[in-house]
Structure 1
Amino acid sequence: MPSVRAHLLSVLVRMGRVRNTFDGAERIGRSVASDRTKGPATPSAKFMARFSVRETEFAGRRVHVVGPRSGHVRRRVLYLHGGGWVLSISDPHWGMVGKLAERLDCSVTVPMFPLAPEHHAREMFAMLLPLYAKLVAEASVGGLTVMGDSTGGNLALSLVMQARAQGLPQPDRLVLISPCLDVGFTDPATDALDRKDPISPARGARELGRMYAGDYDLSDPVVSPLFGSLDGLAPIAIFTGTRDILNADAHRLKQLAAESGIPLIWHEYPGMLHVWPLFPLPEASRALDQITTFITEPAETSIQP
């Protein structure tokens, strides 16, 4: 049963009409225009005082590297933020990045990758795949974890699939938080979940998928990694809530992993909303504990019930 705080968040999300952000092409257009005016969220002064934050550039795009102020780094994380492929990084993403750096004594690389609709999947991966190749080559003790939330989870899974196709090493771990896995949203359960989800409207999600895919077919594994092979991928941990239109596809990925014999650690939270681990909730603290354990301890070789 969700905590009182989680219930209050759900009420606030509905009152704030968060679904309107992506509810159809016209509203998406307005949300994108507002985002471009504001620009990406930046680490707060408190965040900057607490962590080492270094800004670099890769392939003409900004990349932030966040780590402990001590400079002692035990492992690396590549974090890909969500936002429907169209919105910039937000404050909750930076909150998650800070918690990872603190919990794991790690450096977290956060790329400001190209966004739709000005750019499409092909251009996003033209930046992300070489960046991944650089990071995985540099990773030594502790290795590299690739992690993403929502549409960032889509990018993360597709990225490691493309890395495999190019003969690049896999990361040590792959963490997917409320991932988008099928940009066509073809599972019939999606529309039933749409009535429960106070954040992500199905019709808007499908519009976003088309914007992101560009010249790829919507069923191409590059944009819909649910239709790709999991063979040879790193162990996966997936976090999904039952009040999320993406929950149906998470179950399909779980089944695919079982059929492929791929290690997948399954964390389904009843009653939880999309990307709940990014918010100040008891359930988020629990999820962060599970993420920390997954990254720091040997991966299990069977799918949890």
Structure 2
Amino acid sequence: MESIQSKLQKFFFRVIRLNRMWKRTGEELRCYVENKQKKDRYEPPKSYYDRYEIKKCTVERFPCYELKPRTGGGRKHIIFMHGGGYVLEITSMHWEFIGKLIDRTQVGVTVPIYPLAPRYTYRDTMGMLQALYSELLTQHDPGDVIFAGDSAGGGMSLAFAMLLKEKGFALPGQLILISPALDMTFCNPEVSCVEKRDPILATPAIVDCGKWYADNLNLKHYLISPLYGDVQGLCPIRLFTGTDDICNPDARKFKAKAEAQGIAVDYYEYPEMLHVWPFFGLPESKQAVEQIVEAIEA
């Protein structure tokens, strides 16, 4: 049963019209995004410099942060790819979640501040991720590396793993996908039904953002929409999705596709939960965080 906290949160999100950004299109959307990118900050919270060992570096001209527990940490390491429709910077909500993962698991986390559309495209992002992953493999066994991401970052995590497989590179130990955006066309007919219940996202702007990120690549190419990619030979996948999220229909479709090919997906579907609900302070959020921690420690 959905918690009262979740119901109140949904009501609040509707009152403030949280999804209004994602209803913009065309030049209005572009101006909004470009202005927001100029204002937004991506640095870790100042308090984290006391809590963790933090190292900043540059990968393919873009900033990247590595956070480790001051106790030294374990052998596993996470590359966390934040969401934001390929156009928004990492937020305080993401940093708070990353801090929880470090505190609970004592693993190190690398956070690429990847290039954003519309100025940059998938080529720039994938180029950065390849350089970052290659560098990490000089310090970690691939099986000890975890790709984790939410929303667009979840789709990016899966797409990058598919690219590595295609190129014959060593794959990470597992993928942890939180409310992943797996099809940037959002053409699944079930999406329109869910959109009526989703107070966070709306399809018009997200599809435009996907087109910017894709540049001249077909939106159904796996690097943009990994739902259409080859799942054979991938590393273990854990996928978290809520049924009141427009990304949920494609999460279900991905699970069905994988299972039809004999590929098991550890699939966690939460009834009536919203997009990226594990980041919120709900009872259902705490349950999902526990499952994510267990996955990291497995």
What TM-score results when the alignment is normalised by the length of structure 2? 0.95
Task: Render the CA deviation track for 1:43-77: whole Å, top value 9, x for unaligned.
Answer: 22322222222111111110001110112333100
Q: Quick one: distance in 1 between partners of 2:287 and 2:39?
A: 32
Q: Say which SS state the counterpart of residue 45 (structure 1) adopts.
A: coil
- Equivalent residue, structure 2, for 1:151: 152
Q: CA deviation at 1:138?
A: 2.6
- Structure 2 CA distance for aligned equivalents of residues 34 and 278 of structure 1: 26
- Contact 1:133/1:168, CA 8 A, preserved across alignment: no
In the alignment, which residue of structure 1 is the partner of 2:178? 177
Asked whether 1:36 is paired with 2:37, we answer yes
Deviation of 1:30 (Å): 4.2
Q: Percent identity?
A: 35
Runs (5+) with no aligned partner, structure 2: none
Give the Cα separation in 2 of the matches to 1:145 and 1:200: 27
User: Equivalent residue for 1:98?
Assistant: 99
Any residues of structure 2 matched to 1:66-85 within 5 Å, and which?
66-85=67-86
| Alignment correspondent of 2:259 | 258
Unaligned runs of 5+ in 1: 298-305
Maintained 8 Å contact 2:179/2:276? yes
Structure 1 contact 74–141 (Cα < 8 Å) conserved: no
Distance 2:9 2:144 in 1: 35
CA distance in 1, matches of 2:101, 2:70: 14
Inter-CA distance 142–172: structure 2 relative to 1 (3 Å threshold):
closer
Deviation at 1:262, TM superposition (A): 1.9
- The residue that corresponds to 1:207 in the other structure is 208
Tell me by how many angstroms 1:137 deviates. Answer: 4.4
Matched-pair contact (CA < 8 Å) for 2:142–2:171: no
CA–CA distance in structure 2, aligned partners of residues 4 and 34 of structure 1: 36
What SS class does the counterpart of residue 176 from structure 2 fall into?
strand
The residue aligned with 1:280 is: 281
Indicate the residue corresponding to 1:160 in structure 2.
161
Asked if the contact 1:66/1:97 (under 8 Å) is kept, the reply is no
Match of 1:146, SS? Answer: strand
Find the counterpart in structure 2 of residue 218 from structure 1. Answer: 219
For residue 228 of structure 1, what is the amino acid of its counterpart?
Answer: G
Shift of 1:133: 2.6
Superposed CA RMSD in Å reads 1.5
Describe the SS at the equivalent of 1:78: strand
Say which SS state the counterpart of residue 293 (structure 1) adopts: helix
1:21 alignment counterpart: 21
The Cα of 1:141 is off from its aligned counterpart by 9.2
Structure 1 range deviating more: 140-149 or 285-294: 140-149
1:110-166 CA distance string (max 9 Å, x none): 001100011111221111122123224432397010001000011100000000111
